[in-house]
Amino acid sequence: MTRTPIRLAVAAGAALLVAGCSDDGTGTSTTTTTRTATATQSAPAYTGELPERPAAGAPVDCSYTPDGGAAKDVAPPQESGVTTAGSPAVTMSTSAGPIGLTLDPAAAPCTVNSFVSLAGQGYFDDTPCHRLVTSPGLQVLQCGDPSGTGRGGPGYGFDTEYPETAYAPTDPTLSQAVVYPRGTVAMANTGQPGSNGSQFFLVYADSQLPPAYTIFGTIDEAGLATIEKVAAAGDDGSMGSVGGGAPNLPVQIESVTVTS
């Protein structure tokens, strides 16, 4: 299976996600989808604020659905009794400098569970951060694809969590952008249900996106300094109209260590 590229783009001052058309390996093309951050007449006044973050509660069950070949062989995470408590610390060593994260299982237990599982199996080790975006309104470094193509994943997918789950499915504000603050770490996806995998993005300046990208942690100041150094060198523009490209200052994740 060839995975749809996971891309965040900026157009006309608003953020959108574009999932390109690709062959799934059986000769069938996937459907091109576009999710835009546009207001509707029935939507409330735009504030840009994220909804209230969930509090920790009872353990939850998660579902990780096989979706084709993995970019690097790994076992799927456990699915039952996943904790919503704690704040695991992540030490990410990269060729550009250290990036520290604090994960948030209360907001995104299934996402944190997957990230911790992948990190423990060495999935992120010796992999590139393949995309940098420096556009006004979207300033992120995207990582988590061992193939470096924007198509790679762990061989399974799972559903979006906070902030999308803080809204009713028919809430018109789901089509409006919210501010993903500087220092946020969130999951990339294709716009299709269940398309979260291993790719994540690191927000180094406030960015506007629909609330469709799971927020699962924060970046420390040393990590932000590392990312800002990469951003200052710019990108090669290879992503074209969807925005950004490979960082001119390459970022190779050397190792990822998680401690409770």
Domains of the chain: residue spans and CATH: 7-37+61-259 (2.40.100.10)
% residues pLDDT > 90 (the chain)? 77
Q: What per-residue confidence (pLDDT) applies to 25?
A: 34
Q: What per-residue confidence (pLDDT) applies to 68?
A: 84
Residue pLDDT, tens place only, 144-169: 999 999 999 999 999 999 999 999 99
Q: What per-residue confidence (pLDDT) applies to 9?
A: 47
Q: Alpha carbon 103 to chain centroid distance?
A: 13
Q: What per-residue confidence (pLDDT) applies to 260?
A: 82
Can you tell me the distance from the alpha carbon of 27 to that of 36, in angstroms, rounded to the nearest whole number? 29
Q: Which of 5-14, 25-34, 226-235 has the lowest mean pLDDT?
A: 25-34
Residue 59 neighbours by CB under 8 Å, 6+ apart: 81, 82, 83, 84, 109
- State the alpha helices, DSSP H only, in the chain: 109-120, 221-232
Helix, strand and coil in the chain, % to nearest 5: 15, 30, 55
Res 204 pLDDT > 80? yes
Q: Which residue has the tokens 């969930």?
A: 54
Residue pLDDT, tens place only, 9-18: 443 333 333 3
DSSP 90-143: EEEEETTEEEEEEE-TTT-HHHHHHHHHHHHTTTTTTEE--EEEEETTEEEEEE
Q: What per-residue confidence (pLDDT) applies to 69?
A: 87
pTM for the model stands at 0.85
